[in-house]
Amino acid sequence: MSRKLTLILIIAVVVLASILRLWQLGKIPASPDWDEAALGYNAYSIMHTGRDEYGKFLPIILRSFDDYKPALYAYFSIPIISIFGLDVFSVRLPSAIFGILTVLASFFLVKELFKKDNIALLSSFLLAISPWHIQFSRVAFEANVGVALNVFGILFFLKAFKKPWFLSLSALMLGLSLHVYQSEKVFVPLLIAILVGSFRKEFVSLRKKYIYTSIIIFAIISLPLIIFTLTNKDALSRAKGVSIFFNTSIIEANTEKIARDTVNNDILGLVLDNRRVEFAKYVANGYLSHLDLNWLFIKGDIARHHAPGMGLMYLIELPFLLIGIYSLIFGKFDKAVKVFTILWFLIVPIPASVTNDVPHAVRAINFLPILQILTAIGILFALQKISNIKNQKSKIQIKYLIFSLFVSFFIFNFTYYLNQYFVQQNYFNAKYWQYGYENIVDYVATVQKDYRKIIVSNTGTMDQSYMFFLFYLKYDPHKYLSEGGTLSGKIEGENKFANLEFKKLNYYQENGKNILLIGSPSDLPEVFKTVHEINFPDKSLAIKVVEKNK
Amino acid sequence: MFKKHFLLLLIFFLAVFLRFWQLGQNPPSLTWDEASWGYNAYSLGIDGKDEFGKFLPIDYLESFGDFKPPVYAYLDIIPVKIFGLTEFATRFPSALFGALTVLISYFLVKRIFYKSNNANAYGILTSFILAISPWHIMLSRAAFEANIATFFIVVGVWLFLGGIQERKWYLLFSAISFALSIYTFNTARVVAPLIILMLCIGFWKILMGKYTQTIMAIIIGILLLFPTLKFLLSPQASLRFQEVNIFSDIDVVKTANQEIANDNNSSWSKILHNRRLAYGVEYLRHYLDNLNPSFLFIKGDGNPKFSTQTVGEMYLWDLPFLIIGILFLFKKREGYWWIVPLWLVLGIVPAATARETPHALRIETTLPTFQILAAVGFLTTINLLKKYKKLTISILAFVLLINFMYFYHDYLIHYPREFSGEWQYGYKDSISYVESQKDNFDQIDITMALGRPYIYYLFYTKKNPKDYRQEAMIQREVFGFVNINGFDKYRFAKNLSDIDNKNKKVLYVNTPNDVPNSANILKTFYLLNGNKALVAYTL
């Protein structure tokens, strides 16, 4: 392929990636979820006061909803919020930009690995249109930035074999990745291990000073995180919350067996029914759940992680992914590259495998862009095989028939996805995106002065409602912190600012004049007279506003 | 000869042991389908008629209105004659044919990898992996007709390959075996033709060269199927299919219509959201469900009758070799390697139309393809590591032993206690009690809450089928379901108060929650986990 053509094509791919990631960014998905709102407001707060919602000065970890989010994403959004103001678009923009950069970086990475322009181009094209990557590039998901940093990290690591100073850049990227998302704390060390292991020949021939510099850079970047994790007992609470090792229901089932073995004096049984065996099986199950083809190609996991009616990849990619794995293993590629690519694929599900709720599209997001690379290899392998077909029937070459069938399936699949994502998603999934606050907060802003007290539910679907009010009101962070900032980050924790209170709603207990109550239909089931309400796009009732005046 | 097949013989004995040891006690009790096979075999053995008096049925056994293909009952006649009407005798054909499947798999694999140096090793490994397979052991230890159908399909493919290799007359027997599979299990009605089609296309040229045998095989096949063709095309045959299939799910259409409405009813959207496509995707979802790794390697089928719930349909040990096996099968292309993946893919086709997926029983016809792949993978692996061959084999054998012990210990110790309720435990005890008290009462009212009590009363009282057909109070429902409301002194109902008890001295047998407070409890029957199953009382 000529250089010029390659250049034109990669520009086209990046333009396509940008359109798919930026068009209607603030409107689709229909509403920010609570994590997006939290990242946005914390960035806004740090920008104005240097402190997060709890008053912590320049945090590297955001306590947020007691899930202790790594803070880097919030810092990335500060410059954008300072230009465009605090809104959904600006919160999502960093993710979209990193998404576009990942598409470009993937091209260079694959070129570096496989030395072939066609694999590189096709991989980055598949990533550009990947339902999985688009899903997370269009929301403020820290994990998506992690993918970008990892891709750059691997790219610079490989570049270092020609220009050694790239190694420190690689260390910088991978170090930063730790600060972006929880799973990276497990994934990045594994990634470094397989990079060094697979390319050990090239790596050891690097001059020592480059290696030491990189180690020092990586250590300096990760040190604050290590210190924080070791000194703050709450920091691990999130990990505990999602980890299977703290999930007692797993071993409950086993206690009966162990009791029976004890009664039977069955030593073999006590060894086999040991709870460690049970945990090991759960880890294996968690790992393997990410190889479920249904999850990847048909249904995905929770609604916010995929477009309705779609999996995480295109169905048409399925055969080519399988062919790709085969042709990578048996094809004529550099052995170290083969080993690295296979190991890269195999380590991705590890961080997610020790958690509950598997398979999980965010915790396993590092499958990007490896799945696209494998699919690209598979497509090119298949194309080559098909173009060798000599069979000719009634003047139409069979191979052209197969090509055009393939292309039409691909176009159909892509069109279907575009429709599902850009048209159907907001209709079917708005409730999972915590839709409705924007309208409600606008209303509250106009009537806020008329009421003595405004009580907002914080239970069920209205959990963490305080954050949406802070976000949409663009509530002055100085004022918020002077009123005490956030009091509780727990699930259904109580908070308040100005004349707003966020707590469990009970219509009959709130007595007094001039009170406004805001809650979901299940918070206010018997109250029919609303002063304001907002529906989901499917016309079902989302949030109710009612008055109490006695 | 003996020396050559010594290993195979050992594996066969292992298979026999794992399938027959404690066959009558574990699984702890009979399901109603098993009891139905046993009693119908008993009935056929007495006067050649099934429980409803149909003489030598070949289309179906009406059973509970699910129109079972009848072969299992015929195969069970002799065991019931020899061992009496017992759990062991009822399950005997399944266990026997299960063990034979292990044996035949060896010969099948040798035929598939015709002329490959590895054929013998592949065969031995396949047969060993199948012998200890949790999937195959579980399905061989209960009267599942699917297990017999699997045997006939394996034999059918084996004989077919023999036929196109040097023993051309085997083709005729292959046709007979495939025809028998169709008379054995519903799923085989789809899988067997698909596999025959695959084999005919794959060996088209060779078959053309043996046209005498080919044509005779086709004629035999058609003749054998002829008696049942009319039934296969009748509404009864598709009754169960319509009840469980995914294409009657109306939500798919509703979603599609809403999606079209969201696109302002444009014509391109009607193509994009065509309901046929939506059902196609739905079908694919159910298809891929059967390849779910958790189902295959961790938990097994969600139905405790098919899986202990503690290991997958295969061992975790099988997983890496299965993957390596697939890769190298395609790479090495030994013999008629392509049969294995195609058979696997076709074996799932009918099961994916059902709502309950994954389903170990309905995809049992894929066996032993999974085991063949694992065998290929295992042999390839140890050959790749030839430097450390002995060490690798010992480590891997040890890991497999642990996997096996984990399954087998759980199966022997925990499984019957935890899941006796799933096997309708409690009927046998309660019936022997009721029998001992029968003379003291005018009528015995029995709950239907545990499902189809009449067949258990027939089975455990060894009721003479001639008397039964006279006394049976049969009630047929619209969807083909058949209820038996009573025979002899026994009356069955969902709600015992619906039974007419006027001026009669009645013994009641009911589930513990439905026993009235005023009842005078005579005896309670327990599950193996200590929970109450049934209570006998008077009022």
Whether residue B276 has pLDDT greater than 80? yes
Residue pointed to by tokens 């230009």 = A83
Q: Rounded distance, CA B245 to CA B186, Å?
A: 14
Q: Rounded distance, CA B323 to CA B334, Å?
A: 17
User: What's the gap between Cα B300 and its chain centre?
Assistant: 14
Q: Rounded distance, CA B380 to CA B327, Å?
A: 10
Query: What is the torsional sign of CA A127, A133, A135, A137?
Result: negative
- Is the CB of B272 less than 8 angstroms away from the CB of A330? no
| Closest among B292, B307, B186, B295 to B243, alpha carbons compared | B186
A155-181 per-position pLDDT tens digit = 999 999 999 999 999 999 999 999 888
Among the partner residues A268, A325, A415, nearest to B409 by beta-carbon distance: A268
Assembly ipTM = 0.92
The average pLDDT across A368-376 equals 96
Q: Rounded distance, CA A304 to CA A326, Å?
A: 32
Region class of A476: left (phi > 0), else alpha (psi between -120 and 50), else beta? beta
pLDDT band at A392 (very low <50, low <70, confident <90, very high): low
User: Which is higher by pLDDT, A132 or B209?
Assistant: A132
> What residue spans of A265-363 are helical by DSSP H?
267-272, 275-289, 293-294, 317-330, 335-347, 350-353
| Closest among A366, A377, A404, A399 to A190, alpha carbons compared | A366
- Please check whether residue B185 is in contact with residue B145, taking contact to mean a CB–CB distance below 8 angstroms: yes
Bridge partners of A397? Answer: A392
- Secondary structure (DSSP) of B320-334: HHHHHHHHHHHHH--
Distance from CA of B8 to the nearest CA of A (A): 29
Distance from CA of B174 to the nearest CA of A (A): 33
If 0-12 CB within 10 Å is exposed, 13-18 middle and 19+ buried, where does residue B168 land?
middle
User: What tokens does A11 get?
Assistant: 């520009």
Percentage above 90 pLDDT, chain A: 71
Label the pairing between strands A532-535 and A453-457.
unpaired
Percentage above 70 pLDDT, chain B: 97
Whether residue B234 has pLDDT greater than 80? no
Q: What is the DSSP letter of B412?
A: I
CA terminus-to-terminus distance, chain B: 70
Residue numbers in A near B289 (CB within 8 A): 294
What mean pLDDT, rounded, does chain B reach?
92
Contacts of B440 (CB under 8 A, 6+ apart): B505, B507
Whether residue A391 has pLDDT greater than 70? no
Secondary structure in 3-state letters for A41-101: HHHHHHHHHCECCCCCECCCEECCCCCCEECHHHHHHHHHHHHHCCCHHHHHHHHHHHHHH
Among the partner residues B289, B293, B414, nearest to A289 by beta-carbon distance: B293
Secondary structure of residue B443 in the 3-state scheme: strand
- Please check whether residue B88 is in contact with residue B23, taking contact to mean a CB–CB distance below 8 angstroms: yes
Contact residues of B toward A, CB < 8 A: 255, 258-259, 262-263, 269, 272, 278, 281, 284-285, 288-289, 291-294, 297-299, 316, 319, 327, 330-331, 405-406, 409-410, 413-414, 417-418
| Closest among B365, B362, B44, B352 to B178, alpha carbons compared | B365
Distance from CA of B295 to the nearest CA of A (A): 10
Whether residue A506 has pLDDT greater than 90? no
What is the residue type of A488?
S
Question: Residue B425: in which H helix or E strand, if any?
Answer: none
> Half-sphere exposure of residue B12, counting CA atoms within 13 Å on the CB side?
15
- Is the CB of A285 less than 8 angstroms away from the CB of B406? no
User: What tokens does A500 get?
Assistant: 């707003």
- Is the CB of B298 less than 8 angstroms away from the CB of A288? yes
Among the partner residues B262, B285, B410, nearest to A427 by beta-carbon distance: B262
Whether residue A393 has pLDDT greater than 70? no
If 0-12 CB within 10 Å is exposed, 13-18 middle and 19+ buried, where does residue A299 land?
middle
Q: Rounded distance, CA B238 to CA B242, Å?
A: 6
User: What's the gap between Cα A75 and its chain centre?
Assistant: 17
Whether residue A317 has pLDDT greater than 90? yes
Residue numbers in B near A297 (CB within 8 A): 288
Phi first, then psi: what are they for B55, rounded to 5°?
A: -80, 130
- Please check whether residue A472 is in contact with residue A437, taking contact to mean a CB–CB distance below 8 angstroms: yes
What mean pLDDT, rounded, does chain A reach?
91
Give pLDDT, residue A388: 80
- Secondary structure (DSSP) of B275-323: HHHHHHHHHHHHHHHTT-HIIIIIS--SSTTT--SSS-SS-TTHHHHHH
- Please check whether residue B131 is in contact with residue B181, taking contact to mean a CB–CB distance below 8 angstroms: no
Among the partner residues A281, A299, A412, nearest to B285 by beta-carbon distance: A299
The average pLDDT across B33-62 equals 92
pLDDT band at A505 (very low <50, low <70, confident <90, very high): confident
Among the partner residues B281, B293, B316, nearest to A298 by beta-carbon distance: B281
Q: Rounded distance, CA B358 to CA B288, Å?
A: 8
Give pLDDT, residue B249: 83
Core vs surface per residue B123-146: b (16+ CB within 10 A) or e: bbbbbbbbbbbbbbbbbbbbbbbb
Whether residue B183 has pLDDT greater than 80? yes
B73-98 per-position pLDDT tens digit = 999 999 999 999 999 999 999 999 99
Residue numbers in B near A381 (CB within 8 A): none
- Please check whether residue A330 is in contact with residue A189, taking contact to mean a CB–CB distance below 8 angstroms: no
> What residue spans of A138-247 are helical by DSSP H?
142-159, 166-178, 184-198, 200-204, 208-231, 237-242
Question: Residue B463: in which H helix or E strand, if any?
Answer: none
Distance from CA of B33 to the nearest CA of A (A): 29
Q: What is the DSSP letter of A539?
A: S
B355-407 per-position pLDDT tens digit = 888 999 999 999 999 999 999 999 999 999 888 888 999 999 999 999 999 99
Q: Which of B262, B295, B348, B405 to mutate to test the interface with A (most CBs of A within 10 A)?
A: B262
Residue numbers in B near A315 (CB within 8 A): 281, 284
B419-462 per-position pLDDT tens digit = 999 999 999 999 999 999 999 999 999 999 998 999 999 999 99
Q: What is the DSSP letter of A506?
A: -
- Is the CB of B288 less than 8 angstroms away from the CB of A298? yes
User: What tokens does A514 get?
Assistant: 């001039």
Label the pairing between strands A515-519 and A541-548.
antiparallel
Give pLDDT, residue B65: 76
pLDDT band at A238 (very low <50, low <70, confident <90, very high): low
pLDDT band at B241 (very low <50, low <70, confident <90, very high): low
Phi first, then psi: what are they for B444, rounded to 5°?
A: -125, 120
Whether residue A437 has pLDDT greater than 90? yes
Distance from CA of A173 to the nearest CA of B (A): 34
Give pLDDT, residue B243: 67
Q: Which of A264, A276, A294 to mutate to test the interface with B (most CBs of B within 10 A)?
A: A294
Q: Locate the chain A residue with the closest alpha carbon to B412.
A: A269
Whether residue A349 has pLDDT greater than 70? yes
- Is the CB of A289 less than 8 angstroms away from the CB of B418? no
The average pLDDT across A270-298 equals 93
Residue pointed to by tokens 């599209």 = A361
What is the residue type of B261?
A
| Closest among A506, A485, A505, A488 to A497, alpha carbons compared | A485
Give pLDDT, residue A247: 78
Secondary structure of residue A445 in the 3-state scheme: helix
Contacts A–B by Cβ distance under 8 A: 79
User: What tokens does B49 get?
Assistant: 């008629």
Q: Rounded distance, CA B208 to CA B214, Å?
A: 8
Q: What is the DSSP letter of A295?
A: I
pLDDT band at B417 (very low <50, low <70, confident <90, very high): very high
Secondary structure of residue A503 in the 3-state scheme: strand
- Please check whether residue B135 is in contact with residue B360, taking contact to mean a CB–CB distance below 8 angstroms: yes
Label the pairing between strands B473-476 and B482-487.
antiparallel
- Please check whether residue A250 is in contact with residue A279, taking contact to mean a CB–CB distance below 8 angstroms: yes
Radius of gyration of chain B (CA): 26
Q: Locate the chain B residue with the closest alpha carbon to A297.
A: B285
Please state, as a whole number, how many other Cβ atoms lie within 10 Å of the Cβ of residue B420. Answer: 22
Core vs surface per residue B17-47: b (16+ CB within 10 A) or e: ebbbeebbebbbbbbbbbbbbbbbbbbbbee
Q: Rounded distance, CA B512 to CA B493, Å?
A: 15
Q: Locate the chain A residue with the closest alpha carbon to B329.
A: A326
DSSP percent split of chain A into helix, strand, coil, nearest 5: 65, 5, 30
Q: Rounded distance, CA B231 to CA B69, Å?
A: 11
Whether residue A308 has pLDDT greater than 60? yes
Please state, as a whole number, how many other Cβ atoms lie within 10 Å of the Cβ of residue B9. Answer: 11
User: What tokens does A471 get?
Assistant: 């976000």
